[in-house]
């Protein structure tokens, strides 16, 4: 997915380190989403929880868009023309619908519910994403992972993985990245990371062992879910600070609840993120934008019917780094 804001701003998000002593209680901050139109004739809207002023990163997870369930006959579905990425990986995860992916590595793939599609941009890649004609309801998440400095220029890559669900304690868990509930995804990450879909039966309560060195984010898609004492509603992201070795998820509703659990070791590098690019300096961003607009570095997407997306104008104020902890 492309960041479709017409005037993407860079947020100043540094702050004090998480150096408070670990306590028994799980500290959870509730992050609400903001609506961002994705562009296109009828402008499908996504709910963005990362980045935001209160929090820019959860581990190396640096971007979280949540959308649907959308009737594509009303919203027009997804049609994101070829656009570039650098310094990051994109994670596509659907609950329903289907998206056709094409990239400048030559990948042509269909993103389907319950199947991870992970694209590594490395130094530069471009791709298009279009919901298919057989899609009636589009519903899912689009997530980005920042690459650490030593792998920032990793080779372009595209991986697919359909995790076997784990069924336990009234829950169905699909671990697409990292380890949880006795399952480990075979998909390689460049920093310690967790990504899993967790569906809870009505009123089910589930306690999961987690890495105490990780910070976690629980995105609620559907239902009312209590995360270790803090109630979260649809489209909210509960941020659990590092420290606890277990998290408890309780479905407080009489319907199925669906969530996505993200986690990772705190990402200690400062990054500059603008539009679809991640760099370490404003110069990195300016160079990436120039390379895209002048047709270098990001390759070409074959088979998309239409012109590539132009980059927005750079802000007139200097780009500032974000991250190290907050
Ligand atoms: Mn994209």
Instruction: Compute the distance from residue 264 Cα to the ligand 1 centre, in Å.
Output: 21
25 pLDDT band, cuts 50/70/90, is confident
How far does residue 2's CA lie from ligand 1's centre (Å)? 4
CA 181 – ligand 1 centroid, Å: 30
317: Cβ contacts below 8 Å, ≥ 6 apart: none
Given a cut of 80, whether residue 169 has pLDDT beyond it is: yes
| Centre of ligand 1 from the C-alpha of residue 83, in Å | 6
Report the pLDDT value the prediction gives residue 66, as an integer from 0 to 100: 97
Residue 321 pLDDT level (bands cut at 50, 70, 90): confident
Helix/strand/coil for 216: strand
Torsions phi, psi for 299 (to 5 deg) = 70, -170
* Token pair belonging to 165: 């669900």
**pLDDT at 139 exceeding the cut of 50:** yes
Residue 42 has pLDDT above 50, yes or no: yes
User: Cα separation of 314 and 326, whole Å?
Assistant: 26
CA distance 223 to 233: 6
Q: What is the DSSP letter of 291?
A: H
Integer-rounded Cα radius of gyration of the chain: 19
The DSSP letter of residue 26 is: P
In the reported structure, the alpha carbon of residue 313 is separated from the centroid of ligand 1 by a whole-number distance in angstroms of 18
Q: What is the dihedral of CA 263, 269, 272, 276, to 10 degrees?
A: -40
Mean pLDDT of 190-202: 98
Cα 29 to ligand 1 centroid, rounded to whole Å: 28
| pLDDT reported for residue 207 | 97
Mean pLDDT of 39-43: 61
Q: What mean pLDDT is reported for the chain?
A: 92
pLDDT computed for residue 318 by the predictor = 76
CA 316 to ligand 1 center in whole angstroms? 24
Report the separation in Å between the CA atom of 92 and the middle of ligand 1, taken as the mean of its atom positions.
9
pLDDT in tens, 245-272: 999 999 999 999 999 999 999 999 999 9
**How confident is the model over 17-26, as a mean pLDDT?**
57
Residue 178: predicted pLDDT:
98
pLDDT classification of 322: cutoffs 50, 70, 90: confident
Ligand 1: centre distance to CA 277 (Å): 10
User: What is the CA(254)–ligand 1 centre distance, in A?
Assistant: 36
Q: Could you tell me the CA-to-CA distances from 181 to 12, 133, 186 in Å, in that order?
A: 36, 36, 15
Query: Which band of pLDDT confidence, cut at 50, 70 and 90, is reported for residue 37?
Result: confident
Report how far ligand 1's centroid is from the alpha carbon of 321 (Å).
21
Fold (topology level) of 27-264: Jelly Rolls (2.60.120)
Joined tokens for residue 267: 């990402």
- In the block, which residue shows the tokens 């990001």? 298
| CB 224, CB 204: distance < 8 Å | no
CA 3 to ligand 1 center in whole angstroms? 8
- Expressed in angstroms and rounded, the spacing between residue 56 Cα and the centre of ligand 1 is 18
What digits encode the pLDDT tens for the residues 71-93? 999 888 899 999 999 999 999 99
The b-or-e profile of 216-226 (16+ CB within 10 A means b, else e) is: bbbbbbbbbbb
Taking only the tens place, the pLDDT of each residue in 282-301 is 999 999 999 999 999 999 99
- Distance from the alpha carbon of residue 84 to the mean position of ligand 1, in angstroms: 7
Residues, beta carbon < 5 Å, ion ligand 1: 1
- Count of beta carbons in the 10 Å neighbourhood of residue 56: 24
85 CA distance to ligand 1 centroid (A)? 7
Full DSSP string of 133-179: TT-SEEEEEEEEEEPPGGGTTPPPEEEEE-PPPEEETTEEEEEEESE
Please give the distance, rounded to the nearest whole angstrom, from the Cα atom of residue 140 to the centre of ligand 1. Answer: 14
155 in Cβ contact with 120 (< 8 Å): yes
Torsional class of 102: left (φ above 0), alpha (ψ -120 to 50), beta (otherwise): beta
What average pLDDT does range 112-136 have in this prediction? Answer: 97
- Burial track 61-92 (b if 16+ CB lie within 10 A, e otherwise): bbbbbbbbebebeebbbbbbbbbbbbbbbbbb
Q: Which of 19, 31, 62, 57 is nearest to 243 (CA)?
A: 19
């Amino acid at each position: 997915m492309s960041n479709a804001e017409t005037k993407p701003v860079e947020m100043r998000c540094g702050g004090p380190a998480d150096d408070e002593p670990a306590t028994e209680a799980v500290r959870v901050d509730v992050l609400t989403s903001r609506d961002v139109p994705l562009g296109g004739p009828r402008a499908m809207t996504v709910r963005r929880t990362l980045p935001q002023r209160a929090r820019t990163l959860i581990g190396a997870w640096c971007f979280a868009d949540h959308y649907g369930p959308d009737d594509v006959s009303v919203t027009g579905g997804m049609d994101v023309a070829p656009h570039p990425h650098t310094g990051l990986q994109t994670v596509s995860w659907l609950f329903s619908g289907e998206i056709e992916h094409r990239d400048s590595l030559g990948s042509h793939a269909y993103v389907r519910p319950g199947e991870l599609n992970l694209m590594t941009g490395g130094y530069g890649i471009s791709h298009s994403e279009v919901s298919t004609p057989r899609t009636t309801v589009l519903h899912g998440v689009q997530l980005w992972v920042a690459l650490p400095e030593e792998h920032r220029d990793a080779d372009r890559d595209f991986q697919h993985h359909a995790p076997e669900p784990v069924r336990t304690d009234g829950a169905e868990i699909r671990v697409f990245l990292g380890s949880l509930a006795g399952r480990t995804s075979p998909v390689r990450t460049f920093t310690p990371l967790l990504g899993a879909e967790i569906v809870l039966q009505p009123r089910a309560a589930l306690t999961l062992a987690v890495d105490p060195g990780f910070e976690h984010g629980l995105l609620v898609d559907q239902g009312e879910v209590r995360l270790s004492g803090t109630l979260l509603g649809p489209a909210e992201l509960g941020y659990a600070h590092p420290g606890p070795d277990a998290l408890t998820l309780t479905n407080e509703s009489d319907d199925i609840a669906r969530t996505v659990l993200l986690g990772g070791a705190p990402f200690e590098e400062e990054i500059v993120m603008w539009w679809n690019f991640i760099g370490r300096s404003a110069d990195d961003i300016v160079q990436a934008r120039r390379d895209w607009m002048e047709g270098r570095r990001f390759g070409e997407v074959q088979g998309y019917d239409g012109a590539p997306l132009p980059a927005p104008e750079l802000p007139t104020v200097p780009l500032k780094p974000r991250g190290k902890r907050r």
